[in-house]
Amino acid sequence: MSGIADRLRFQVPLYTVTEAARLVDVPVSTLSTWAQGYLRRFPDRRNVVGDPLITYLKPEGPRRPSVPFVGLTEATILAAVRRSGVPMQRVRPALQALAVGLGLEHPLASRRLYTDGAELLYDYAESHPDTEDGQAARQLVVVRSGQRVFREVIRHSR
């Protein structure tokens, strides 16, 4: 990839949160939470924090673009995953595991990410095809639990 192409995809804000939400067909509040994360305060229990899930760049001013192309791609995939039925309680830990465990900077933009409508699945074999683990992992793996899934079942359900 060229430096200019990378910069355009990852570092140049192209869409406002409102525009991105409209393109992805989710509420602005939802996309805003995905982009900026959230903090929920409760008087009688611990605060709940949700980290950002899509790439978001601090806008240069009000109503200025803040979502680069990769952020729109991530939001599109996340919206599709949610529409398929995967709850956020499964999405967030799976994305965290891919980011920390494999060092993926943009796991939602990975071509090796799948869903069965209940979990996020990752094709580990494609990232390590020549290793013993890669040969053994010819199935998709549930990211949260590491459980293997029969790859052909997922391919035929597309």
* Percent of the residues in the chain that have a pLDDT greater than 90, as a whole number: 58
Q: Which domain holds residue 33?
A: 1-83
Q: Tell me, yes or no, whether 78 and 98 share the same domain.
A: no
Structure-token pair, residue 100 = 């920390």
Rounded distance between C-alpha atoms, residue 151 and residue 62, angstroms: 46
Residue 152: the pLDDT is 47
Give yes or no: residues 95 and 38 share one domain: no
Is 112 in the same domain as 124? yes
- Residue keyed to tokens 């994305």: 95
Are residues 32 and 101 located together in one domain of the fold? no
pLDDT value of residue 153: 44
Q: 154 versus 27: which is more confidently predicted?
A: 27
Residue 120: exposed, middle, or buried by beta-carbon count in 10 A (0-12, 13-18, 19+)?
buried
pTM score, whole prediction: 0.80
Element (H, E) at 23: helix 17-24
Task: Write out pLDDT tens, residues 5-15.
Answer: 788 889 999 99
8 Å CB contact between 93 and 51: no
Predicted confidence (pLDDT) at residue 53 exceeds the cutoff of 50: yes
Query: % helix / strand / coil in the chain, to the nearest 5?
Result: 45, 15, 40
